[in-house]
Amino acid sequence: MARIFSGMAPSGFPTLGNYLGATRNWVKLQAQGDCIYCIVDQHAITNFQNPTELREKTRVMAAILLASGIDPEKHILFHQSAVPAHARLAWIFNCVARIGWLNRMTQFKDKAGKDREAVSTGLYVYPNLMAADIHAYHATLVPVGDDQRQHLELANDIAEKFNFDYGVKFFPRIEAMIPAETARIMSLRDGTKKMSKSDPSDQSRINLNDDSDTIALKIRRAKTDPEPLPADPSGLAGRPEATNLVTIYAAMTDQTPAAVLQNLAGAGFGAFKEKLADALIAHIAPIKTETERLLNDPAHIDSILQAGARRAAAIADPIVDEAERIVGFLPRGP
């Protein structure tokens, strides 16, 4: 069975973009391999986090994942900081990756903006820690959204250089799994911008904790164009907002966009938005209810994450021990 690894930052309540681009895929993949899912709290502090809020957001993320259908018994769900193997391997990777490689990371450029001198060094080496997350388990399949493609290429470059420098075949190649149809869910206000938690307008996104009325309202207000739905996807060319709504509806109803358009060709956006809102509410309302139930018992969530961390460490520790031996560190000892 393939070993599947992925990570998600504890950013509180995820958006529909996170859900369709990542979470839902994580749930489905449980049928295809042994899955290790990590809430990356160490990545989170590359930007300052209020400590109380970070704890809260980590639990919220765990609850959402459990409510969405992650099975913590058959698979592994844990928080990154609880397994020191990640940081140990990340240090080695800091010494393998080249500054020139990190300078090419577009996410760093986006996140750092103009004031590159003022961001944390952690933000800069963030992709090295991400590579360590994956390679600490010898995982080979990594489900992510499209925006993480470059980081996974870097993870392969790091593994290749490690193997070459030390003359070993220790770290395997990893493969990105990027869901094609829903790889990028766009803002409801601007179809050329990614739907994001950090967008200042709450109207631009659906949050997984939005109640039904809020979802209906946001969809009603979502930007569209005056044309009706076309008969096939070619009629969506140059219509980013229409494309996005069709993509979301297709994902919610488990159809291809082509199948959606076949059924709804000629419909106006007024009627279509009502169907879309109903589909979203039917899908999201049960997840929200279960998440709230789980959050009533934070100690239970913590115990699930801690049990996951123990099982994760049992896999990662021997692999990282071996990586440290390969680079020439003396044994840690018992």
String of contacts with ligand TRP for each residue 83-122, x by CB under 6 A = ----------------------------------------
Distance CA 146, CA 213 (A): 30
Q: Name the catalytic one among 57, 194, 223, 273.
A: 194
Q: Are 6 and 34 in contact (CB under 8 A)?
A: no
Residue 7 interface partner, choices ligand AMP, ligand TRP, none, CB cut-off 5-8 Å depending on type: ligand TRP
Cβ neighbours for 2, distance < 8 A, ≥ 6 positions apart = 32, 33, 34, 140, 141
String of contacts with ligand TRP for each residue 137-156, x by CB under 6 A = -----x-x---x--x-----
134 belongs to the binding site for ligand TRP (CB under 6 A): yes
Cβ-based nearer residue to ligand TRP, 8 or 301: 8
Cβ neighbours for 195, distance < 8 A, ≥ 6 positions apart = 15, 16, 17, 185, 186, 187, 188, 204, 205, 206
Q: Which residue is nearest to ligand TRP (CB)?
A: 7
Cβ-based nearer residue to ligand AMP, 40 or 132: 40
Distant-in-sequence contacts of 313-316, Cβ < 8 A, 24+ apart:
313/82, 313/83, 313/84, 313/85, 315/36, 315/137, 316/83, 316/85, 316/86, 316/89, 316/136, 316/137
Cβ-based nearer residue to ligand TRP, 112 or 217: 112
Q: CB of residue 184 vs ligand AMP: minimum separation in angstroms?
A: 5
Catalytic residues: 111, 194, 197
Chain contacts with ligand TRP (rule: CB under 6 A): 5-9, 40, 43, 130, 133-134, 142, 144, 148, 151
